Structure 1
């Protein structure tokens, strides 16, 4: 069986930066619904299309194909008095900006203020995504209707 729309695909993957440094390697394989789940970036899904179990891909992702360009507009300096008391460098806050929920990373604290960065930590970076297809199966009618995988390795919810 090949990877195509409405197949449930299980992959193992590694994510590297432009300097070949390993950024992420999941311990458990990732299972997704090809053509529906927004789990993977479109360029990666495209590269997996037509592959079989055992096939591998290596995809270079420019910033626009992954986490976007770094946006200096997403840097804010806020008084500590306006933020949770347990805030610390390296921590994260969820806050709204222009009607969208954004995860803000705390990148610095000084003089009673915190520096918050709303960019993804990999924004502006070229990345390499290496993956191997471990399993492919037809999606169930319910998975297709819901737009995601159910059961082992996928999404679990009650109706």
Structure 2
């Protein structure tokens, strides 16, 4: 069975930057399971999976534009520390949810000085070309319940 929209895909992956530094991998843990065509993956990887099938292995280079997009300097802001009142142990590297003009967004604290905090709303992998090493473990039809819920269910069914 070939990968197409509304198929469940179970796969292992390793993702690296262009210098082949490992960023993340599922090979030493559980494979990734998702419904293809639902926007769960970055566009470039989803496109590369189209028409692959169980047992296929491949390596694909994905440009930043087809991954997490380019970095935008406007998403880096320095704001008063007072905006974070009530947050204990605020530190560089901490991820927070912030209310913006575009709705709620994840930001990462990248700097702290006196009464100012600098946050970055870019995805940590924005602006980075990626390389994926992929092994397709299984491809099957999604059940009607999985399609209705928008995610893959385990062997015991839905746990929510």
Q: TM-score, normalised by structure 1?
A: 0.88
**Aligned position for 2:152:** 149
**Aligned position for 2:51:** 50
Pairwise mapping of residues 6-155 of structure 1 onto structure 2 (< 5 A)? 6-26=6-26, 27-36=29-38, 38-83=39-84, 84-152=87-155
Rounded Cα–Cα distance in structure 1 between residues aligned with 2:129 and 2:155: 32
Could you list the structure 1 runs, at least 4 aligned residues long, displaced by more than 4 angstroms after superposition: none
Q: TM-score, normalised by structure 2?
A: 0.88
RMSD: 1.9
Post-superposition shift, 1:24? 0.5
Which residues of structure 1 form unaligned runs of 5+? none
Look up the SS of the partner of 2:37 in the other structure.
coil
Look up the SS of the partner of 1:81 in the other structure.
helix
Aligned residues: 156
Q: Is the 8 A contact 2:42 2:68 kept in 1?
A: no
Rounded Cα–Cα distance in structure 2 between residues aligned with 1:132 and 1:140: 23
Look up the SS of the partner of 1:44 in the other structure.
helix
Look up the SS of the partner of 1:69 in the other structure.
coil
Which residues of structure 2 form unaligned runs of 5+? none
Post-superposition shift, 1:99? 2.9
Post-superposition shift, 1:148? 2.3
User: Structure 1 pair 138/73, CA: closer, same or farther in 2 (3 Å)?
Assistant: same
- For residues 112-132 of structure 1, the C-alpha deviation after alignment (integer angstroms, 9 at most, x for no partner) is 211111111111111112211
